Amino acid sequence: MSDNVVPAVVNLDLEGPTISRHVYGHFAEHLGRCIYGGFYVGEDADIPNEGGIRLDVVEALRALDIPNLRWPGGCFADEYHWRDGIGPKDERPVMVNTHWGGVEENNHFGTHEFMALCELLGTEPYISGNVGSGTVQEMSEWVEYLTREGDSPMVRLRKANGREEPWKVKYWGLGNETWGCGGNMSAEHYANEARRYATYCRDYGDNKLYRIAAGASDFSYAWTETLMQQLSHLGCQRVERPLYQAVSVHYYTFAGNWDDKGSATAFDADQYYTTILKAARTDELLTGHANVMDCYDPQKEIGIVLDEWGTWWNVEPGTNPGFLYQQNTMRDALVASLHFDIFHRHADRLVMANIAQTVNVLQAMILTDPDSEALVLTPTYHVFEMNKGHQDAASLRVDTPAGLPSREVDGQALSTVSVSASRKDDAVLFSLSNLDAEEAVEVELDLRGGSVGKTASRILAAEALQAHNTPEAPDAVAPREYDGVSVTGKGLRVRLPAHSFVTVAAPVA
Ligand code: AHR
């Protein structure tokens, strides 16, 4: 086997844990132009809309089969008071969005608008409640307003605002980053708060909440340990009747440091590899948090929710620093494809992940032009679309007996090839990333326990890692059909150009 051929063994008949479709989840915060100008333009806008929601954005996102959408933050969630966002729009109070640019928030996009957006997208809502500056009563009444049927004060209020039937809401966040912008709490203090808030977030009728405790930043395993420990009070034993069903974690990828994260588009090869190394550490991150959880919950009943992930670059020159608007290149696409391979490998514990954020903020799927009706789909959008067949599929283990090609980056070994596979309804989907900036590589898929039929392959690639889409060149980075896959005696051989992402779908017999 020559150096640039990587053997990879996949047993098509040995199905692993199901990849939750929710790891393809999304996040929309009242931040910059994510909601206003992104998802929502108001009923009077010239841009085609339904109830103020941009229909071109909805149409583009429907192609991704978005499983859930987290809202209203982020840091914004812990200063959001839901009652400000219901009722006649001209009577809704105005507030200051202190976290994000200090701009005024007119509350025109509130609970009803968010639920309408979820219905248009065909997605499940994930509501992030206010622990930092809210009250238990406020959160409890929001759950009642949304999900209770019959007659009660909040039900009457909902009906007065035009919604007769309760909505179905499963995913409920108990605050956000409570170690920081969500209240600067200690882990011990927050664990008590999480239990208190969870107690009063009731299940009404057949609406069963899945309560998500606000978790750690990065590798702060002690935070997860405290949440797990105080959930059970039982030490290293099985968690009985948990008050919350998952703990979250946040992890962002950038090439520099928090003060200077690097440019989204002007970067060199060293910064590229540093970025990929940082993204690859998501594997270590999930393993570390899962190991802590295994001690308290070996049955894996409590899930990990990585409800903020993705690249975070310096804002585009000339834009509001508080709006977190950044371009999105082929590098971002590879960060996304690498994350998904890691998510697929952690299907036993990772129940949800939400990219930050869907429109106009951080590693977005869609960038809308502030001065026109134009929108562009980013390279990251295309990875989500190419990979959507993994949603709710059985993970398939990929073994690489000869190892993976690697290079030293910042004193650590970085594998420059990443592969994952899944099986659903007698079809298999392979995702393959060549993370090397310059060298092409081939992956020899040694398929056992079944054989594959005619393949359908697609590639996302660009001459330069810095390539990105703009209104003038919307398809500079876009998927195309790919003929670099051949049938071999063992299975398939896939040629991967430098810095490219390829998917191969095939029926299995
Ligand atoms: O996604 C942007 C911000 O990053 C979120 O508001 C916050 O939770 C995190 O620090």
Q: Counting atoms of ligand 1 from 1, which one is nearest the CA of 176?
A: 8
For the CA atoms of 93, 99, 102, 106, the dihedral, rounded to the nearest 10 degrees, stands at -20
Contact 37, 101 (CB under 8 A): no
pLDDT of residue 230: 86
177 is catalytic: yes
Q: How many CB atoms lie within 10 A of CB 409?
A: 18
**Residues of the chain under the 50 pLDDT cut:** 1-2, 234-237
pLDDT of the residue at 130: 98
Give me the catalytic one of 29, 113, 193, 308: 308
Choice from 34, 75, 217, 218 to test ligand 1 binding pocket (greatest atom count within 8 A of CB): 75
> Pocket around ligand 1: residues whose beta carbon is below 6 Å from it?
29, 73-75, 176-177, 308, 356-357, 362
Give 143-146 contacts, CB < 8 A, sequence gap 24+.
Answer: 143/169, 143/172, 143/201, 143/202, 143/204, 143/209, 144/202, 144/204, 145/82, 145/86, 145/111, 146/111, 146/115
DSSP bridge pairs for 444: 7, 493
C-alpha to C-alpha distance for 175 and 178, rounded to whole angstroms: 6
Q: Which residue has the tokens 């927050």?
A: 190
Cis peptide before 74 (omega within 30 of 0): yes
Task: Count H helices and E strands in the chain, helices first.
Answer: 10, 26
- Reported in sequence order, the residue ranges of 378-469 that DSSP labels E, i.e. its strands, are 394-399, 406-409, 412-415, 417-424, 427-434, 441-448, 456-460
Of 337, 357, 327, whose CA–CA distance to 266 is shortest?
327
Tell me 85's DSSP state. Answer: G
For ligand 1, the distance from its centroid to the CA atom of residue 177, given in whole angstroms, is: 8
Report d(CA 17, CA 27) in Å as an integer: 25
CA-only gyration radius of the chain, Å: 23
DSSP 282: H
Maximal CA-CA distance, the chain: 71
Q: Could you please report the per-residue DSSP string of 295-364?
A: HH-TT--SEEEEEEEEE--PPPTTS-GGG-----BHHHHHHHHHHHHHHHHTTTTEEEEEES-SBSSSS-
Q: How would you label 485-504 residue by residue, b for 16+ Cβ within 10 Å and e otherwise?
A: beeeeebbebbbbbbbbbbb
SS (H, E, C) 14-71: EEEEECCHHHHEEECCCCCCCCECCCECCCCCCCCEECCEEHHHHHHHHCCCCCEEEE
β-pair type (5-18, 441-448): parallel
On whether the CB atoms of residues 352 and 25 are closer than 8 A, the answer is yes
**pLDDT for the residue numbered 1:** 43
Q: Mutate which of 177, 249, 325 to test ligand 1's pocket (most atoms within 8 Å of Cβ)?
A: 177
Q: In Å, how far are 308, 458, 491, 507 from 504, measured between CA atoms? A: 28, 7, 12, 10
pLDDT for the residue numbered 239: 53
Termini Cα distance of the chain: 28
Ligand 1 atom closest to residue 77's alpha carbon, by position in its atom list: 6
Sign of CA dihedral 46, 120, 359, 43: positive
Give 356 Cα–ligand 1 centroid separation in angstroms: 8
Please say whether the beta carbons of 348 and 425 come within 8 A: no
Cα 48 versus chain centre, distance: 27
Asked if 326 and 313 count as a contact pair (C-beta separation under 8 A), the reply is yes
Distance CA 64, CA 117 (A): 15
Q: Nearest residue CA, atom 5 of ligand 1? A: 74
- For ligand 1, the distance from its centroid to the CA atom of residue 307, given in whole angstroms, is 10
Q: What is the separation of C-alpha 234 from the centre of its chain, rounded to a whole number of angstroms?
A: 32
d(CA 72, CA 66): 17
Q: How many Å apart are CA 60 and CA 85, to the nearest integer?
A: 26
CA pair distance 157, 308, nearest whole angstrom: 32
Nearest to 176 by CA among 168, 184, 167, 188: 184
Both tokens of 382, joined, read: 């295309």
Choosing from 124, 141, 177, 442, which is the catalytic residue? Answer: 177
Question: CA 18, CA 391: separation in Å to the nearest integer?
Answer: 9
CA dihedral 400, 401, 402, 404 (to 10 degrees): 20
For ligand 1, atom 6, which residue shows the shortest CA distance?
74
Q: Ligand 1 atom closest to Cα of 324?
A: 2
- Closest residue (by CA) to atom 2 of ligand 1? 74
Q: Which atom of ligand 1 is nearest to the CA of 356?
A: 1
Centre of ligand 1 from the C-alpha of residue 49, in Å: 28
d(CA 348, CA 300): 7
Cα torsion through 436, 439, 443, 444, rounded to 10: -150
Q: pTM for the complete prediction? A: 0.97
Q: Give the pLDDT confidence score for residue 160 in this predicted structure.
A: 98
User: Which atom, in ligand 1's list, is nearest to the CA of 177?
Assistant: 8
- Measured by CA distance, the residue closest to atom 3 of ligand 1 is 74
Express each pLDDT in 318-332 by its tens digit.
Answer: 999 999 999 999 999
